[in-house]
Each structure stands twice: as structure tokens, then as C-alpha cells.
A and B are shown apart, each in its own frame.
Chain A
Amino acid sequence: GDSVTQMEGPVTLSEEAFLTINCTYTATGYPSLFWYVQYPGEGLQLLLKATKADDKGSNKGFEATYRKETTSFHLEKGSVQVSDSAVYFCALSDLGGGSNYKLTFGKGTLLTVNP
């Protein structure tokens, strides 16, 4: 079945540091890939997405490129801010049994950015 593996952290950085959170996946089909972010006490919000190989998703300074050859979708940001402190989830959406476009999530990475 489908699976997502992401570095579990926690990750602690100083403000303006470079961020990388690794994510690799296995899928039976040709999935769409997502990064979701969860701020404390809130639900998940879509951060960025990519739907085909070599697509680059970007939003709020975050980027991730869909690499089919390495089955990876690593999240990067050049200069993190305190407000980026949150849990980040890598996820894929594949056509499961029947017509279930379910999301398969990694376990999440807690990012803490210190001033």
C-alpha cells in the first residue's frame, strides 16, 4: 500500500536559518503530493502541492519539488521565522480502493523556531 516517510524531528532552528524536512513516499499509482501545516490548536492547512513529476509547489517562502525518480518531496525554506513554528505533514493522495482519494500522511515533523 501507499506510505509516506518524513523526518520526525523535532527540529529546532534559529530565526533566519535554512529549513529542510525530508519526505519520501511509496505509491502504487501516480499520486499528487502535498505539504500540510498544523499550528497549535488548529486543523491542518494546505501549504503547497504538486501533481506531477518535476512540479514545484511553493507558498509563503516554502518550496517542494516532486521528484519521481527519487520518490521524494522535500520541504525547504530559505529563512524561517518564529511564526513558522508548527507541525508539518507530508501527504500523498492516490486513488485507493474504489474511488477513495484518501490522504496518506507521514507522522509529522514538529518545527520550533527560536528568536
Chain B
Amino acid sequence: DTGVSQDPRHKITKRGQNVTFRCDPISEHNRLYWYRQTLGQGPEFLTYFQNEAQLEKSRLLSDRFSAERPKGSFSTLEIQRTEQGDSAMYLCASSLDGGRSYGYTFGSGTRLTVV
């Protein structure tokens, strides 16, 4: 297992377009998280899954954002009608049992630029 993979690494899109990002977690990990990070800030929680169930969504997550994790494996994060304020690094992480013992393993992120 090569860790958490995110695709694409970079995405430039025009305002109003839809974008979809993919995350492949470590296969043994049952939890998968999405965070967003802007310049000068720490990661902000967006949503997380335990297996295929979406357990929590941040109040920051507008209804333009949707995430899925079919069959409890990879996950996708879709942003509809992108806005310039959506420009950020989108980080995916996975963990075993909430990360208490071994922490979260993060991917390298998808950097989104909305022009």
C-alpha cells in the first residue's frame, strides 16, 4: 500500500464549473476525511466517513459540496458551481479507529484554483 492517493494534484477551473476530486485511502483504514486548507491556515474539517457511511459534515460545507464513499473504498468530493472562494488545497486523510493511536495519514492534496 503506497499511502493515500489524491487525484488530480492540481485543477484550474472557471467560475461556475463543476469539479470532482478523488481520494484512495489506505485499504485497511475504515475512516476517511476531507479537509480544506487555505494559505496561512491549518486544515479545516469538511466531512468524514466510516466505511461507506457519511457520519459528519461541517457547517462550513455548503450545499454545493457533496461527498461519497461508495462501498467504503475510494471517495469523491464534488463542488458544483465553483466560486473563487473555493480556491484552496483539498486534503484527504484516512485513519484506523479514529486515528487515536496512529494519527491520520494524509494525501498530497488537490490544489484547486477557480478563475
Query: Do these two chains interact?
Result: no
